[in-house]
Structure formats: structure tokens, C-alpha cells
Amino acid sequence: MVDAAVPIHWRRFDERYRLIGNKCVTCSGSYFPARPVCPNCRSKGKLEKEQMPFTGKIYSYSEVLVGPIGFEFETPYHIAIIELDNKVKILAQVVDSEKEKVKIGTKVKKVFRKISDRDEEGIIAYGYKFKVQ
């Protein structure tokens, strides 16, 4: 069923590769991922695309020692809530960083990495992760 996966891949292109979220023209709230209704003021259809910053800081994090199915051999790794420079918070894996440097307040930047190659159809998924600056 490769055909079913391809449209999903392209619909999420902006999110996965460029960190495109949206901004509400009514209340000026910024959000990622993009959504059809503003979660703050509930405006519908009054959202425009917004480029999220590629830098931020670790707001909170956890070290994963036992990974979920498909990722059990990639442990240990860090998953973090990243507060981007515009105050939007997103969940992402922290990669290519020394364990001692992964802590609250540490500055990070977006990097492009392989997420998975274990898809039944052989599709390799890429996306954003973050790295300590």
C-alpha cells in the first residue's frame, strides 16, 4: 500500500521538513503543528502559515531507556519539549549531543535526520530533530 502513504507524506512536508506552523490573525497566537482552529481564541479559518524558528532551548526532557516497538534498538536517547525562540513548544528527539549537555535551558537547533526505515512498504521517513548548539 505504498500509494496510501505517499499523499500523507506530501501533506506533512511543510511540518516535517520546514517547521511550518501557523499564526492566528485574530489573537496573534503561534502554533505548531498547523491546525484549522486557533486553540486560544477558537477562530476558524483566520490562520496563516508561519515559519517556526529553527532554534530554541530545552524546556523539559526525558531519557528513554526502553524504546517503543520499532525503536527498541536505538536506546538510550533523549526526547524533549523544545521551546522555540518564538515561545512555541514542540516535542522532538535530541540527537548528536553528549548526554551531559542535554539539560533544561540548553540551546538547541533543528537538524534533519532519518526517523525510520522500518516501514512495511520500505518507505524511509525523514524529519526534524534537535541538536545541542
**What pLDDT was estimated at residue 86?**
97
**What pLDDT was estimated at residue 71?**
81
The three-state DSSP-derived secondary structure of the chain is CHHHHHHHHHHCHHHHHHCEEEEECCCCCEECCCCCECCCCCCECCEEEEECCCEEEEEEEEEECCCCCCCCCCCCEEEEEEEECCCCEEEEEECCCCHHHCCCCCEEEEEEEEEECCCCCCCCEEEEEEEEC
- Confidence band of 1 (pLDDT split at 50, 70, 90): very low
Half-sphere exposure of residue 6: CA atoms within 13 angstroms, side-chain side: 3
Per-chain mean pLDDT for the chain:
88
pLDDT digits 0-9 by tens, 117-129: 766 777 777 889 9
**What pLDDT was estimated at residue 45?**
77
Q: 28-37, 46-55, 70-79, 81-90: which range is least confident on average? A: 70-79
Higher pLDDT, 109 or 12: 109
Rg, the chain, Cα only: 16
pLDDT of residue 78 exceeding 80, the answer is yes
Quick check: pTM over 0.85?
no
